[in-house]
Amino acid sequence: MTEAAVAARVRLVAGLLLTAVLAACAGPGVRPGAPAGQVVPAADAAEREAARSARVRAAADWSLTGRIAVSNAGKGGSGRIEWSQRGAGFDVALSAPVTRQSWRLSGAPGSARLEGLDGGPREGADATELLFQATGWDIPVAALGDWLRGLPAGGDGGDARILPGPDGRPQSIAQGGWTIAYEWPATGDLPTRLDARRDSARVRLIVDRWQGGAAEAATP
């Protein structure tokens, strides 16, 4: 084998290795627009989505367990999340195995309590602001309860822009300065992954298990 042929083979192998490394570093993020179900006529898709939304909103009590990664202006972290919703009341447990830190955020509209901090629990009227001030994690807690389930926040979601997928379920929702991209199981009312972004803030979540919240989604 000539030197030129050997050099070409080395370049090819190096290129393949670099591609594999980059793919591994990219991680299992949400793939916006990934196929979720069969393509159906627009009118049927809209009717299916209206029925799905009604079922999900009617289920006031639900919970999920999963994995979350948060970044903001170059800073962030990742860990486990357990979210339990009972009507308007929420209880969210966050844990970061690498740093062995854990927090518990609980409350309802107008009040919130954050535990797991040095110096003791903190309380405030805004759960999002309370969490950000304590941890630097920019997580829109009030809206996320709806966004997690593929719904616009705030009931009617009048300010939301929804891009439907081929089967009617949202491919993305843009609301309040955030854009949330979804990945769905082949069937089911609840998404398996989401990627929420606003400026330099990003929240990625993979759901390992849903309980309640209408027809349960299949796990990834």
Say what the pLDDT of residue 32 is: 42
The Cα–Cα gap between 215 and 194 comes to: 18
CB 148 within 8 A of CB 64: yes
Which pair of structure tokens corresponds to residue 66? 């999963």
89-102: pLDDT as tens digits: 999 998 887 677 88
Distance CA 59, CA 42 (A): 26
What pLDDT is recorded for position 16? 32
pLDDT at 165: 94
Below-70 pLDDT ranges, the chain: 1-40, 98, 155-158, 214-220
Q: How far apart are CA 205 and CA 203, in angstroms?
A: 7
Residues in the chain: 220
Q: φ, ψ for residue 208 (rounded to 5)?
A: -90, -30
Q: What is the CATH number of domain 39-211?
A: 2.50.20.10
Q: Residue 141 corresponds to which tokens in the numbers above?
A: 């807690």
- Please give the Cα distance from 35 to 87 (Å, whole number): 32
pLDDT score at 178: 94
Q: Which amino acid is at 180?
A: I
Residues 62-94 have pLDDT tens digits of 999 999 998 887 777 889 999 999 999 999 998
